Amino acid sequence: MGGGDLLSILIQTVKSKMTGLVTKFRLYTNWNFIKTKIFSKIRDFFSNLLGVKPRNKYDYFTIGRWMFSKRLLYALVIIIGVLSIWYISTETTLFRNFSEDGIVTYKYNSLRLRTAKGHVKIKGKSGYVAYDGDVSAGYVNGNGTLFNKYGGVVYTGTFAQNKYEGIGTLNYESGNAMYKGSFHENLYEGEGTLYREDGTREYVGEFSKGKKNGEGVLYDTGENELYEGIFASDSIVYSEMLGKTVEDLSQSYKGHRDLYTTSYDSVGVMNDIDALYHARIDSEALDDSETIDSVYVLTDTFKYGNESINTIDGLEEVLGKPVYEGNSMVLLPEAVSINELSKTKTVINGPVEMELDQTFSDVAEVKSIDYSYVVYIYSYRKGDVMYSFVGDGTDNTFDFYYVSGVKTG
């Protein structure tokens, strides 16, 4: 047997002896093994501690006629101690997390946040600061700022129980203001200003439940005043124009207007609000003023409360059965409405032939209309207002509608 063989045997012997030691070392240094041992010791400790069934009189504390289990009292002392440590860690500054500016910062799901009061910061799920402001009673309450995950300001103002409440500013993702004014339960409520994303004002006035409701002013993209009047559910209340003179309407509508005239009536196209009016010369007026008797709305959707209706069946659900339904020869305001809509899409039977004398670029005298052109009308009465919906009568839809006063006497 050579020296090499002897060395090999020696190495194998040493390795066989060391394998057990290495295995034990790996086992004892494995975190899962250590954790299991720790939890096992803790479990055994509490099992023994909470094994409260006394075996003899020495397992009791005696106070007067009362006897108390020693182990139960020990357990209560430990539980109270743990709770005390938890309370100290949550209610003192010793263990709190502070931001660079010294403001206490919590995670959004922290139990400690439920008892926090005053100015704090709250981190979102992915770790970004989602809120900087006041909290109390487990809610975001008071003044604060809400951020998105990119650090942009979503809302700044007052809160009540985690909702926008009071005066504040809501922003677009770009950071520009979307709305400034009063809120109630996250919705626009009261006085406020609505902005376009480029920063220009769109509307200033009253809101209710997140929509334009009440008195307000519309602006164009150059922030020029377009229309001042009454709004409901984000729409102009067109019936408000009925009975006004054209001169009075000029104080409300200040946008561009195209005018079509005859010897006894006129149609004014209010291009910037997608509507037109029909006015007749008031024979009883001393100044030959024109009074508006109907307003045409150039849309195939009718706003009623919070509903947007675009079918005849839907109209009947809210307005009832029509008081009139049938074919009618086209009239001047209907002809102008059809021709305005025909600039962008096909409606009914296409444009209505009209002979015009173009006095100015925005004023035309109507010489004749193709009265053989037929439209189909559904008319509904609601109070003192008549709503008439115009289409071709071949399906369940309409192309535009108009409001007019109910004739009496």
Same domain, 259 and 394: yes
Same domain, 180 and 261: no
Residue 102 counted as domain residue: no
Q: Residues for the chain: how many in total? A: 409
Q: Which of 231, 260, 282 is the last residue of a domain?
A: 231
For residue 178 the two structure tokens come to: 């979307």
Nearest-angstrom CA–CA distance, 178 and 171: 5
Residue 289 has a pLDDT of 82
Residue 275 has a pLDDT of 97
Instruction: Kindly report, residue by residue over 368-383, the tens digit of the pLDDT.
Output: 999 999 999 999 999 8
Same domain, 164 and 181: yes
Residue numbers of the domain that contains 281: 246-405
Residue 213 has a pLDDT of 96
Q: Are 44 and 59 in contact (CB under 8 A)?
A: no
Residue 159 counted as domain residue: yes
Q: Which of 231, 259, 279 is the last residue of a domain?
A: 231
Q: How many domains does the chain have?
A: 4
Same domain, 63 and 41: no
Q: Which of 200, 231, 262 is the last residue of a domain?
A: 231
Nearest-angstrom CA–CA distance, 130 and 102: 17
Same domain, 14 and 34: yes
Mean pLDDT, the chain cut into blocks of 10 residues (409 residues total):
61 65 68 73 63 59 66 74 66 55 86 89 92 94 96 97 97 96 97 97 97 96 95 94 94 94 94 95 67 96 90 95 96 97 94 92 94 96 94 95 80
Residue 113 counted as domain residue: no
Residue 98 has a pLDDT of 64
Residue 103 counted as domain residue: no
Instruction: Kindly report, residue by residue over 144-180, the tens digit of the pLDDT.
Output: 999 999 999 999 999 999 999 999 999 999 999 999 9
Same domain, 337 and 267: yes
Residue 352 counted as domain residue: yes
Same domain, 176 and 276: no
Same domain, 262 and 387: yes
Sheet hosting strand 324-329, strand order edge to edge: 324-329, 374-382, 385-391, 400-405, 290-297, 275-281, 265-270, 257-261, 363-369, 354-360
CB atoms within 10 A of CB 362: 13
Residue 119 counted as domain residue: no
Phi, psi of 313 (to 5 degrees): -60, -40
Same domain, 179 and 84: no
Residue 400 counted as domain residue: yes
Same domain, 263 and 393: yes
Residue 303 counted as domain residue: yes
Residue 115 has a pLDDT of 87
Same domain, 217 and 258: no
Residue 240 has a pLDDT of 94
- For the chain, the distance separating the N- and C-terminal CA atoms, rounded to the nearest angstrom, is 136
Residue 95 has a pLDDT of 47
Same domain, 146 and 225: yes
CATH of the domain at 165: 2.20.110.10
